[in-house]
């Protein structure tokens, strides 16, 4: 198991403004992105951390980061995502 796949006992939250969040849709349900892949700019983020995408005070995406590889991370929010599947 690589170092990037070992989950931390202490997780942190990565907060990104929805207008600035660039991602690829990996899975979607009814026009909403439920699993996303995004370029990770913060080397301190680890699998098990939380991705939180906000538009003002509204939560658009809240899910665990499950995989980080080659500077890209994947996160899933299969129940509450409001990220549209438009091209990013």
Q: In this predicted model, what pLDDT tens digit does every residue of 12-58 receive, in sequence order?
A: 999 999 999 999 999 999 999 999 999 999 999 999 999 999 999 99
Q: What is the dihedral of CA 61, 52, 7, 71, to 10 degrees?
A: 90
Q: How far is CA 50 from the centre of its chain?
A: 7
- Sequence-distant (≥ 6) Cβ neighbours of residue 20 within 8 angstroms: none
Query: What local confidence, expressed as pLDDT, does residue 9 receive?
Result: 63
| Contact between 51 and 62 (Cβ < 8 Å) | yes
Cβ proximity of 53 and 59 under 8 Å: yes
pLDDT for the residue numbered 73: 97
């Amino acid at each position: 198991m690589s170092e990037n796949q070992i989950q931390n006992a202490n997780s942190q939250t990565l907060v990104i403004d929805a207008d600035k969040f660039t991602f690829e849709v990996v899975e979607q349900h009814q026009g909403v992105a439920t699993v996303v892949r995004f370029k990770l700019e913060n080397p301190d983020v680890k699998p098990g951390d939380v991705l939180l995408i906000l538009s003002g005070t509204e939560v658009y995406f809240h899910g665990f980061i499950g995989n980080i590889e080659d500077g890209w991370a994947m996160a899933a929010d299969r129940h509450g995502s409001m990220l549209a599947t438009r091209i990013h």
